[in-house]
Protein backbone atom coordinates (compact mmCIF):
# COMPACT_ATOMS: atom_id res chain seq x y z
CA UNK A 1 0.00 0.00 0.00
CA UNK A 2 1.34 3.42 -0.86
CA UNK A 3 1.38 6.53 1.29
CA UNK A 4 -1.54 8.14 -0.45
CA UNK A 5 -3.82 5.23 0.42
CA UNK A 6 -2.56 5.18 3.98
CA UNK A 7 -3.29 8.87 4.39
CA UNK A 8 -6.83 8.30 3.14
CA UNK A 9 -7.25 5.59 5.76
CA UNK A 10 -6.05 7.69 8.68
CA UNK A 11 -9.44 9.12 9.64
CA UNK A 12 -11.04 5.68 9.39
CA UNK A 13 -8.28 4.31 11.54
CA UNK A 14 -8.75 6.97 14.20
CA UNK A 15 -12.53 6.53 14.13
CA UNK A 16 -11.97 2.78 14.34
CA UNK A 17 -13.97 2.37 11.16
CA UNK A 18 -11.17 0.46 9.53
CA UNK A 19 -11.37 -3.17 8.45
CA UNK A 20 -9.21 -5.68 10.24
CA UNK A 21 -7.14 -6.56 7.19
CA UNK A 22 -6.63 -2.92 6.30
CA UNK A 23 -5.70 -2.14 9.86
CA UNK A 24 -2.85 -4.63 9.75
CA UNK A 25 -1.50 -3.20 6.53
CA UNK A 26 -1.91 0.29 7.92
CA UNK A 27 -0.01 -0.43 11.11
CA UNK A 28 2.76 -2.20 9.23
CA UNK A 29 3.14 0.83 7.01
CA UNK A 30 3.21 3.25 9.93
CA UNK A 31 6.07 1.27 11.45
CA UNK A 32 8.26 1.63 8.39
CA UNK A 33 7.18 5.02 7.04
CA UNK A 34 8.24 8.08 9.01
CA UNK A 35 6.13 10.41 6.93
CA UNK A 36 2.84 8.62 7.57
CA UNK A 37 3.75 8.08 11.18
CA UNK A 38 4.18 11.80 11.73
CA UNK A 39 0.88 12.54 10.00
CA UNK A 40 -0.91 10.09 12.22
CA UNK A 41 0.74 11.56 15.31
CA UNK A 42 -0.18 15.09 14.35
CA UNK A 43 -3.82 14.21 13.72
CA UNK A 44 -4.10 12.12 16.86
CA UNK A 45 -2.61 14.91 18.92
CA UNK A 46 -5.06 17.43 17.46
CA UNK A 47 -8.00 15.15 18.19
CA UNK A 48 -6.76 14.24 21.62
CA UNK A 49 -6.36 17.89 22.55
CA UNK A 50 -9.86 18.84 21.53
CA UNK A 51 -11.31 15.78 23.22
CA UNK A 52 -9.56 16.62 26.45
CA UNK A 53 -10.91 20.15 26.31
CA UNK A 54 -14.48 18.94 25.92
CA UNK A 55 -14.08 15.78 27.97
CA UNK A 56 -17.39 13.95 28.08
CA UNK A 57 -19.29 16.77 26.52
CA UNK A 58 -20.16 16.50 22.90
CA UNK A 59 -17.80 18.45 20.69
CA UNK A 60 -19.75 21.32 19.15
CA UNK A 61 -20.35 20.88 15.46
CA UNK A 62 -18.47 24.05 14.68
CA UNK A 63 -15.37 22.78 16.45
CA UNK A 64 -15.69 19.36 14.91
CA UNK A 65 -15.90 20.91 11.48
CA UNK A 66 -12.78 22.97 11.97
CA UNK A 67 -11.04 19.90 13.31
CA UNK A 68 -11.78 17.94 10.20
CA UNK A 69 -10.74 20.92 8.18
CA UNK A 70 -7.40 20.88 9.94
CA UNK A 71 -7.01 17.18 9.28
CA UNK A 72 -7.79 17.76 5.64
CA UNK A 73 -5.10 20.44 5.52
CA UNK A 74 -2.58 18.10 7.11
CA UNK A 75 -3.42 15.42 4.58
CA UNK A 76 -3.01 17.80 1.67
CA UNK A 77 0.29 19.06 3.03
CA UNK A 78 1.71 15.56 3.15
CA UNK A 79 0.30 14.37 -0.12
CA UNK A 80 3.35 15.37 -2.12
ZN1 LIG B 1 3.84 6.30 4.10
Digit-coded pLDDT (tens) for 33-79: 999 999 999 888 888 888 888 877 887 888 888 878 887 887 777 66
Q: Can you give the pLDDT at residue 79? A: 65
Tell me which of 9-13, 16-20, 26-30 is least confident: 9-13
Q: Can you give the pLDDT at residue 36? A: 93
Residue 2 CA, ligand 1 centroid: distance in Å: 6
Instruction: Write a three-state SS string for the chain.
Output: CCHHHHHHHHHHHHCCCCCHHHHHHHHHHHHHCHHHHHHHHHHHHHHHHHHHHHCCCCCCHHHHHHHHHHHHHHHHHHHC
Residue 21 has pLDDT above 90, yes or no: yes
Residue 6 CA, ligand 1 centroid: distance in Å: 6
Amino acid sequence: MNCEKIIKLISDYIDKQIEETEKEIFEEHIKICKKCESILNTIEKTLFLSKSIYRNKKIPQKVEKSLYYQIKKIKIRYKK
